Structure 1
Amino acid sequence: MRRPHILIIEDDRHIAELISLYLVKERFRCTLAEDGSRGTDLFYMDPPDLILLDIMLPKKDGWAVMEELRQFGNTPVIMLTGKGESYDKLKGFSLGVDDYVVKPFEPKELVARVRAVLRRLNPFVAREEVLLPGLRISPSEYKVFVDGAEIGFPPKEIELLYYLATNRNQVYTREQLLNQVWGLSFEGDLRTVDVHIKRIRNKIGDRGDWRIVTVWGIGYKFEVNEDASAD
């Protein structure tokens, strides 16, 4: 079973390691960053399922990190701060923060909040597998297998491929795919879809039984031959 990946961006090493200790015990995988710049670098290198983000960070503060993250998607964020003023909470929520925890906090409560946010924002993991000749998409594990071999995919690529594969032979516009996979609140460019489709194609190749087809002037569809097995 795949372990959800949590990115902890916190400059207090003691706090970061304490949070990680509790999360690892609860079967999470954790990555730690000591400043905002390192945090965004790690976000791109190994996209997490959820981010724990401190506000007062060196090099790039939590607000700047949050603004950058929201340009690339809706990864859940729980903000950590020693400040309890309502202004900070309102600003955080306006930037797309999903939850807000004021220090000092109980680690067990933080773990519970992490689980609650993931359940609320990521029902994807409860969906059934897609099974086609040479292709298996496992939502519960967040994994894709081609000809029995696991292919590395970040979460949004898996979700996009899954959505197309479960609505086979149906044409979707880029805007429809953004709304369905990224959500109505996503404010990114339509080219986000093109970039993800290109990456997916590079990984799965051009198959005989199934493939992602560009419908010029409209969008994309996941084309499955009639002889291909159903999932």
Structure 2
Amino acid sequence: MIVEDDPTVRGVVGDYLRSSGYDVSSFSDGARARDALAEHLPDVLIVDRMLPGVSGDDLCRDVRSRSDIPVIMLTALGAVDHRISGLEHGADDYIAKPFSMKELQLRVAAQLRRHSPSAPAEPFTVGAFRIDPGHRRVWRDNDEIALTTREYELLLFCVQRPGEVLTRNDILGEVWGWTFGDASTVTVHVRRLREKIEPEPRFPVYLRTEWGAGYRFTPYGKG
């Protein structure tokens, strides 16, 4: 689904994705898109952040409250703080205008790959965390934690590498599939993940910052 108030952008994006083999529905305003989303969720939502009325941020929050479908946000706002704000509303990815149609198609394909069902894996425990990859569920000290798809993938990447220092580029490459990108994307998602897994997010004991290097996961909350 594409939600974009600029008819030229909406038409070009829709035509390109259809020519790439995707079924596409498109809407020019957030209110109509919200009604459609209440009836049926697409596999990927592409939404302009600056929509009149019901904004892209509003749509993203609404979708994220009930689903973990991937959301790609289009924005004409290139400043880092604007991109961070979009991610904090629950977007999985963003792309700044003007953009390449091929890049957008590759971003859509990457999101679909990451959300495609795969062979179930056995549950495993690392320190205080129990992970069920087959059902994408996570517990800390027997308490289940509700994570978005991106938060789950970030945590899974970290728990599989306990004690290692993981750079932001490492995380961008493995979790997002990007060979380049804005490190603030990682910073935002780490902060969101800490809010859910840490006893006190301001003083993390599991997902720690290694200043000037990246992050280190300590599964028992010490060391």
Q: TM-score range by the shorter chain?
A: 0.5 to 0.7
Native 8 Å contact 1:130 1:162 kept in 2: no
Deviations 1:60-97 (A, max 9, x none): xx9759x999x746559xxxxxxxxxxxxxx7734513
* Structure with greater strand percent: 1
How is 1:194-213 mapped onto 2 (pairs within 5 angstroms)? 194-206=187-199, 211-213=206-208
Matching of residue 151 in structure 1 with residue 141 in structure 2: no
Cα distance, 1:119–1:130 mapped onto 2, change above 3 Å: farther
% identical equivalent positions: 25
Candidates 194, 204, 216, aligned match of 2:211: 216
Q: TM-score, normalised by structure 1?
A: 0.51
| Aligned equivalent of 2:59 | 42
Matching of residue 140 in structure 1 with residue 134 in structure 2: yes
| Aligned equivalent of 2:171 | 177
Native 8 Å contact 1:169 1:222 kept in 2: yes
In 1: Cα distance, 2:93 partner to 2:132 partner: 20
| Aligned equivalent of 1:10 | 27
CA deviation after TM superposition for structure 1 residue 163, in Å: 0.2
Which stretches in structure 1 are left out of the alignment for 5+ residues? 1-7, 54-61, 77-90, 101-115, 226-231
Native 8 Å contact 1:126 1:139 kept in 2: no
Cα RMSD (Å) of the superposition?
4.8
Native 8 Å contact 1:125 1:141 kept in 2: no
Number of equivalences: 173
In 2: Cα distance, 1:144 partner to 1:9 partner: 35
Equivalent residue of 2:217, what SS? strand
How is 1:104-115 mapped onto 2 (pairs within 5 angstroms)? none
| Aligned equivalent of 1:97 | 105
In 2: Cα distance, 1:159 partner to 1:215 partner: 20
1:219 alignment partner AA: G
Q: TM-score, normalised by structure 2?
A: 0.53
Which stretches in structure 2 are left out of the alignment for 5+ residues? 1-24
Cα distance, 1:92–1:148 mapped onto 2, change above 3 Å: same
